[in-house]
Chain A
Amino acid sequence: MARYLLLRLADAIPTIWLVLTLVFIAMRILPGDPALAALGDMAQPQELAAFREKMGLNVPLWQQYLQFLFGVVTLNLGQSYMNGQSVMQLIAYNLPYTIELTVVAMIMGFGAGIPLGVMAATHRNKLPDSGMRLFSLIGYAIPDFYLGALLLITFALNLKWFPINGAGEGFADRLHHVFLPALTLAFVKAAFIGRLTRASLLEVFGKDYVRTARAKGAREPRVIYRHGLRNALLPLTTGMGLSLLATLSGSVAIELVFNRPGIGRLLINAITERDYAVIQGGVIVFAMVVVLVNLLMDLVYIVVDPRIRVS
C-alpha cells in the first residue's frame, strides 16, 4: 500500500505544475490589453505604462512565467488593483467562509442522502424508491441558484426566519446564516448521494457473499448494514470526492444569491471588475483545491479498500 500511496503523491506534482502552467497561459491569452481593460478607455498612456510596470507585464513572457511560479510557491500573488490589499490576504479572509459553507452542505447532503439511498434500495420499486427517483430527477434539473433564490424569497424575505445576506458573527449566528445556503446545496447533493448509495447497494445485494451471509443465518438488518452497506461505501468514497467538487462549484453561485463572503464571490466580482491579480489568485485557489481533492479521493480509496491495503 505504501508504494501505491507514494506513487500517487509523486504523480500529483507534475499535475500541479501542469495546472499552474495552464492557468498562466489562460491568463495571458486574455484578448486585449489588461491595462486598458482595468483602467478604461480614458486612461492616459503614462497610467497604462505604470499599470503594466506594476503588474510585471513589461518583461518577456518566459520571465513572467518564472516570476509567476515563484510567486505561487512563495505565496505572493500580487495585489488587488481595486483596493490594494494583498491577494493572499483576500483569499485568507474569504476561504474560511467557503469552506464553512461547503462542509455544512456536505454534512447535510450525506446525512440525508445515505439513509434515503438505503431506503430506496431496500424498498425497491415501492414508494421510497419512486420518490427517490423523482427527487433526483428534479434535483438534477433545477439550477441551484434558482432553488437558492426560492428559498431566500420564501424563508428569508417573506417568513423572515433567516437572514437575507452575510455570514454572521459567532458560532450560533454563523450557523443561522449558513443554513439556507447550505440547504440549497445539500438538496442536489442528497439526490446525487442517494442515487449513488442506492445503485451501489443494489449492486452489492446481488453479490454472492450476501447470499452466503443469509445462508449463515444472519438476519436482514445485519445483511443490509454489515455486509451490504459496508461494501457499498467503497465506491461511495469516490462519489464523495465528486460531490465535494460539485458543492464547491455550486458555492460560487450560492454565495452570490445569499450575498455571502467567499472565494466564489471574490472571483466573480474580480472578473466583473477586471481585477487581474485577484482573478488569477482565485483561479489558482480553485484549481489547487480541485487537484487536492482528486488526490485525496485516490488516497482514501487506497487506504479503505483492503484489497489494495493488504497486498
Chain B
Amino acid sequence: MTLSASNAAAVERDAAAPLLKVENLAVEFGPVEKPLRVVDGVGFSIPAGGALGIVGESGSGKSITSLAIMGLIPSPPGRIVSGRVEFEGVDLLGLPRSRMPDIRGRDIAMIFQEPMSSLNPVMTIGDQIGEAIKLHEETTREERRARVIELLKLVGMPDPAKRIGAFPHQFSGGMRQRVMIAMAVACNPRLLIADEPTTALDVTIQAQVLELMKEVRRRLNTAVLLISHDLGVVADIADRVVVMYAGRVVEDGDVRAIFKRPGHPYTRGLLQSVPRLDDDRRRLYQIPGAVPLPGTVKAGCPFYARCPDRIDKCAKAMPPMFTLAPGQSAACWVSAGATS
C-alpha cells in the first residue's frame, strides 16, 4: 500500500467506528469559585489497533487528558466539567464511578513515566502482574503463573520462570518498564495509554522499550495512545499526532504530514527546536517566551504571545480547528487563510 492510500484507509477507518473518541473534554482544578481550566475543548479519536501520539510541553494538559480517560483525575481538587469520552461507543464519563475499576486494566490500560516508583516495592513482580489478571478474570494460581511467565516472555524478560519471584528493586529501569507493560497488557486491553513511558530511561533502553511497544501492538492488535514531549518517540510509534498547547488541541494529523508540512506555528516551532546533525545554525532554536499558566489567557489564541505569525485577530478570538488538508487540521487563523 502506498503512503497516501494507507492514509486514506486510516481516515476511512477513523470515520467508521473509532475505538476511542474524545469530544470537547474540559478539566478544571482548584476551588469551584475560581477554577483553573487545565484542559479545554480537547477532542481526538483513535481507531481500533491504531496509534495516536499526543505531543506537548509540560503544562500542555496532555497527561491530564489521559488521566481523564482513565477516570483517575484526583477529585478533589480536579473535576471533569464537560465532554464525552466514548470508548467502544459508551461514554465513560456518563458511567457511575463504580464501573471504572472494571474497565481499567481490562479494556483500557495505562503505563506511567517512572518505572522506579510505579511498582509496589513489597510485592514480587509475579504477584503484581498476577494481580492484574486476578482483578478481572477467574483463574487458578497455576493458570495465572503460566500466563505471567508467558507475558514476561512477551516483553522480553530473560529467564522468566526464575525472575517471577523477584522484587522490583532487583531490576533496572528498562526491565521495570517491561514489567509495567506486561502488567498492562495482561488482560489484552483494546487500548494502551502510555504516559511518557521512555522519558526516565536511557536513550538505548528507550529504543528497546519502544520496539517492545510496537511488537505488543502488532501481536495483540492493541491501540496505543502515546503521550510524550519527545517528537522523535512519537514519530517512531504513532500513525497520527495531536499537538496540544496550554490545554487545547492546536493541530491534528497524520504523523508524516505534520512533520513535513506542520500546519500550526507552534508545531513549526517545536520541529525547529529539535537539533539536527545537518543543521548549520549557530545556536539552538528556542520558541521565545513560556507556556502560559492555566487561567491566564482570557481570550484569543493561547499561543498569541509567542507566535511569529500572529495577527491582531489572534488576540481577540480563539481559532477553531480548520481542515488544512485531508486528515490534517490546525487551529490557526493565519494557516487557514481566514485572516479577516
Q: Answer whether A and B touch in the complex at a CB cut-off of 8 Å.
A: yes
Interface residues of A (CB under 8 A from B): 207-209, 211-219, 227, 230-231, 234, 305-307, 310-311
CB distance from B111 to the nearest CB of A (A): 8
B225 beta carbon closer than 8 Å to chain A: no
**Across the interface, which residues of B come within 8 angstroms of A306, CB to CB?**
121-122, 167, 169
Instruction: Indicate if the CB atoms of B72 and A211 lie closer than 8 Å.
Output: yes
Q: Are A216 and B132 in contact (CB under 8 A)?
A: yes
Residue of A nearest to B131 (CB): A216
Task: For B120, give its contact among A209, A214, A215 (CB under 8 Å).
Answer: A209
Cα–Cα distance between A258 and B183 once the two chains are bound (Å): 58
A307-B169, A311-B169 given as contacts; is B122 within 8 A of A215 (CB)? no
CA distance A207 to B169 in the complex (A): 15
Chain B residues near A209 (CB, 8 Å)?
117-121
A-B contact pairs, 21 of them (CB 8 A): A208-B114, A208-B117, A208-B118, A209-B117, A209-B118, A209-B121, A212-B183, A213-B120, A215-B105, A216-B104, A216-B105, A216-B131, A216-B132, A216-B135, A217-B106, A217-B132, A230-B122, A231-B121, A310-B166, A310-B170, A311-B169
Cβ-based interface call for B151 (8 A)? no
* Residue numbers in A under 8 Å from B132 (CB-CB): 216-217
Write out the residue numbers on chain B whose beta carbons fall within 8 Å of the beta carbon of A212. Answer: 112, 118-120, 180, 183
B103 at the interface (CB under 8 A from A): yes
For B41, what are the chain A residues with a Cβ–Cβ distance below 8 Å?
none
Shortest CB-to-CB span from A163 to chain B, Å, is 45
Cβ of B136 under 8 Å from chain A: yes
Chain B 43-79, CB within 8 Å of chain A: the 1/0 string?
Answer: 0000000000000000000000000001010000000
A204 to chain B, nearest CB (A): 10
Q: How far is the CA of A208 from the CA of B114 in the complex (A)?
A: 8
In the complex, chain A residues whose CB is within 8 Å of the CB of B238: none
- B180:A217 contact, CB within 8 angstroms: no
Interchain CB contact under 8 A, A214 and B104: yes
Interface size classification for chain B: 20 to 34
Q: Give, as a whole number of angstroms, the nearest-CB distance from A156 to chain B.
A: 45
Pairwise interchain contact B122-A208, C-beta atoms closer than 8 A: no
* Contact between A211 and B120, CB atoms less than 8 A apart: no
* Residues in B neighbouring A216, C-beta threshold 8 A: 104-105, 109, 131-132, 135, 183
By a CB distance below 8 angstroms, the chain A residues around B101 are 214, 217-219
CA distance A216 to B192 in the complex (A): 12
Q: Which residues of A contact B121 (CB under 8 A)?
A: 209, 231, 306-307
A215 partner residues in chain B, CB cutoff 8 A: 70, 72, 104-105, 109-110, 112
Q: Does B309 contact A (CB under 8 A)?
A: no
Contacts of A305 in B (CB 8 A): 122
Question: In this complex, what residue of A is CB-closest to B110?
Answer: A215
Query: Given A217-B135, A231-B120, A307-B169, are A211 and B112 also a contact pair (CB < 8 Å)?
Result: yes
B102 lies within 8 A of chain A by Cβ: yes
| Closest-CB distance, A108 to chain B (whole angstroms) | 27
In the bound complex, CA of A219 to CA of B135 (Å): 9
Q: Chain A's nearest CB lies how many Å from the CB of B255?
A: 26
Hey, which chain A residues are within 8 Å of B105, CB to CB? 215-217
Residue on A nearest B106 in the bound complex, by CB = A217
Residues of B within 8 A of A214 (CB): 72, 101, 104
B residues near A213, Cβ cutoff 8 Å: 120
Q: Inside 8 A of A208's CB, which chain B residues have their CB? A: 112, 114, 117-118
Q: How distant is the Cα of A208 from the Cα of B166 in the complex, in angstroms?
A: 20
Chain B nearest Cβ from A42, distance in angstroms: 67
Closest residue of chain B to A234 (Cβ to Cβ) is: B122
The 7 closest A-B pairs by CB, nearest first: A217-B105, A217-B104, A208-B117, A216-B105, A208-B118, A209-B120, A215-B110
| Cβ-defined contact, A310 with B167, below 8 A | yes
* B102 pairs with A217, CB closer than 8 A: yes
Tell me, rounded to whole Å, the shortest Cβ–Cβ distance linking B239 to chain A.
24
